[in-house]
Structure 1
Amino acid sequence: MPDPLASDLISPDAGEAPLLNFASVSILKAAPLTRLSFRARGAALEKAGEGLGVPLPDTPLSSQTADKRAALWMGPDEWTLLAPEDDVHAVVEAIEGKLGGEPHALVDISDRSEAVIVSGEKAVWLLNTGVFVDFAPEAFPVGNVTRTVFHKSPVMIWRTGPDSFVVEAWVSFMDYVTGLLVHSARELEAWPLSTGN
């Protein structure tokens, strides 16, 4: 389960069985979300934050969360905005209403991506089987988010707690990503038995 940073927004999909559930690490499919890609600069940023209900972060790799809302920094003029699945129209209307004539792009990408929740004491180890990012807490603290590549698939990784991560990939890549995560986790589980430890 994700930690309190995003616990009211990111939750396991109740209709899906866990992909993996070991004592040291679990992989759970996340419930569907509203995902919006927002691009803008200048005054539009503050107005979009007002419409969303959470300020857009201006620090690289960072995120901001509020009640059932999140804004993730993707680049100097790009953010991913998250809200509950059923709120898509309300969120779009609220943001557009605040922006008025400010130049911007706001695109619903809810159906493009899926997410899984990777958590447990071996979550960092598991992610590092396919991505070369330093997930030490001092290098990648809770709230940090990054785009990267897991093996050969582009992914977004968001740390929602000390041992909890949201891993998002395009729908067409998710089976590849989760298959490799599950395979690596099963190797981790078998390793102490094979070495006699």
Structure 2
Amino acid sequence: MSDAVLIPRSPLEGLALPAGDRFAVAEAPAAARLVFRGGEAARAACSAAFGAELPARLGLASARENRAALWLGPDEWLLIAGGADADLLGAELEAAFDAAPHSLVDVSHRQIGLLVSGQIAVRALSAGCPLDLHLSAFPVGTATRTIFDKAEIVLWRLGATAFHVEVWRSFAPYLVVALTEAARGAPGW
């Protein structure tokens, strides 16, 4: 009898993802995702061990190489490490905390990242997101937890017309279809 091996598959498998200059959605590369909570001492220790500074102001993101830290709340950050093993990363971070009170939860299997870009990306995202996504109100480097229609997302602005969207795996196909429909309704689609 052979050992059965479960191979993870994308929840977007089989979906036609829009790709073009005006609007594109792509699945972000595989990454470890951890939710970290802790006070200032734990934040400082986590920053040093993670390799990217955990922002000290709400609504900001910081990135270094293939790691990003997005501040979601007064003591909560989403850590994204491209290509990393979540178990190994978690163990490395835990070793750095010493006695600082904290919480570190692996959410790698719960959610995926989407890269949304193009000239009408803001318009498509605005169709289901209550935030003001104008560049002056939501500048590059801003990240926040919000919603798109009925799906909770984490929205991170990477550029004037580029976003990283974190979404639960079960909502990912819905989100792609909803964003695509919103983009189709934009002038010049």
TM range (shorter): 0.7 to 0.9
Give the aligned partner of residue 144 of structure 2. Answer: 146
**Does the residue aligned with 2:44 lie in a helix, a strand or coil?**
helix
Gaps of 5+ in 2: 1-12
Give the aligned partner of residue 56 of structure 1. Answer: 54
Which residue identity lines up with residue 121 of structure 1 in the other structure? Q
Q: Give the TM-score of the pair, scaled to structure 1.
A: 0.83
Give the aligned partner of residue 93 of structure 1. Answer: 91
Q: Does 1:135 align with 2:112?
A: no
Which residue identity lines up with residue 23 of structure 1 in the other structure? D
**For 2:23, which of 25, 32, 35 is the aligned residue?**
25
Q: Give the TM-score of the pair, scaled to structure 2.
A: 0.87
Pairwise mapping of residues 58-73 of structure 1 onto structure 2 (< 5 A)? Answer: 58-73=56-71
Which residue identity lines up with residue 36 of structure 2 in the other structure? F
**Contact 1:145–1:156 under 8 Å retained in 2:** yes
CA deviation after TM superposition for structure 1 residue 30, in Å: 1.5
Give the aligned partner of residue 10 of structure 2. Answer: none
**Contact 2:67–2:80 under 8 Å retained in 1:** yes
Give the aligned partner of residue 6 of structure 1. Answer: none
Q: What count of residue pairs does the alignment treat as equivalent?
A: 177
Give the aligned partner of residue 182 of structure 2. Answer: 184
Higher helix share: 1
For 2:107 and 2:124, the matched residues in 1 are separated by: 27
CA deviation after TM superposition for structure 1 residue 86, in Å: 3.1
Give the aligned partner of residue 108 of structure 1. Answer: 106
Q: 1:22 to 1:54 in 2, by over 3 A?
A: closer
Which residue identity lines up with residue 135 of structure 1 in the other structure? L
For 1:46 and 1:87, the matched residues in 2 are separated by: 22
**Contact 1:51–1:91 under 8 Å retained in 2:** no
Gaps of 5+ in 1: 1-14
Give the aligned partner of residue 117 of structure 1. Answer: 115
Q: 1:104 to 1:169 in 2, by over 3 A?
A: same
Identity over aligned pairs, percent: 36
For 1:65 and 1:129, the matched residues in 2 are separated by: 28
For 2:86 and 2:140, the matched residues in 1 are separated by: 26
**Contact 1:54–1:69 under 8 Å retained in 2:** yes
CA deviation after TM superposition for structure 1 residue 16, in Å: 8.2
Q: Does 1:43 align with 2:41?
A: yes
**Does the residue aligned with 1:20 lie in a helix, a strand or coil?**
coil
